[in-house]
């Protein structure tokens, strides 16, 4: 009985700490406003790894390999933000296309000045 109470007490302390912090971050941040170095049909996986590191997720889209770089900030209080960079590769391992989405205000305004 005593061990169960200790476990419950520790779980309560952990929960209280998480609630008081009120935030969690997943993934690794990357500069979404300076991707001009990426060129369709030219930039390969090696250069992606050198500049962006290991992808957060890998997958397949219509038979083409995809890599996703993601950064997610979750807040219990206040605004949560996230961004995703999904890169689709051709059979030679070169970037075929990519999609970038962000909810970070400063990045949105840099990517599309009409949002200022």
Give CA separation, 94 vs 5, 24, 75, 100, 111, in Å. Answer: 56, 34, 36, 17, 24
Q: What percent of the chain has pLDDT over 90?
A: 66
Query: From CA 69, how far away is CA 30, in angstroms rounded?
Result: 8
Q: Is the pTM of this model over 0.85?
A: no
The structural architecture, per CATH, of the domain 23-115 is 2-Layer Sandwich (3.30)
Please state, rounded to an integer, the average pLDDT across all residues of the chain: 89
Please report, for the chain, the start and end positions of each structural domain, with discontinuous segments joined by +.
Answer: 23-115
Q: How far is CA 105 from the centre of its chain?
A: 16
Confidence class for position 28, pLDDT limits 50, 70, 90: very high
Structure confidence at residue 16 (pLDDT): 65
Sign for the CA dihedral angle at 85, 35, 46, 95 comes to: positive
Dump pLDDT digits (tens) for 57-106: 999 999 999 999 999 999 888 889 999 999 999 999 999 999 999 999 99
Q: Which long-range contacts (CB under 8 A, 24 or more apart) does 15-18 make?
A: none
């Amino acid at each position: 009985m005593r061990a169960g109470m200790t476990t419950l007490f520790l779980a309560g302390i952990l929960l209280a700490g998480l609630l008081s912090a009120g935030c969690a971050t997943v993934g690794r941040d990357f500069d979404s406003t300076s991707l001009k170095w990426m060129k369709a049909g030219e930039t390969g996986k090696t250069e992606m790894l050198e500049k962006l590191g290991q992808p957060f997720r890998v997958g397949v889209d219509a038979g083409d390999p995809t890599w996703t770089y993601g950064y997610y900030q979750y807040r219990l209080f206040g605004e949560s933000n996230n961004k995703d960079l999904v890169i689709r590769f051709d059979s030679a391992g070169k970037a075929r296309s990519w999609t970038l989405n962000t909810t970070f205000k400063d990045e949105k305004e840099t990517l599309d000045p009409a949002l200022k």
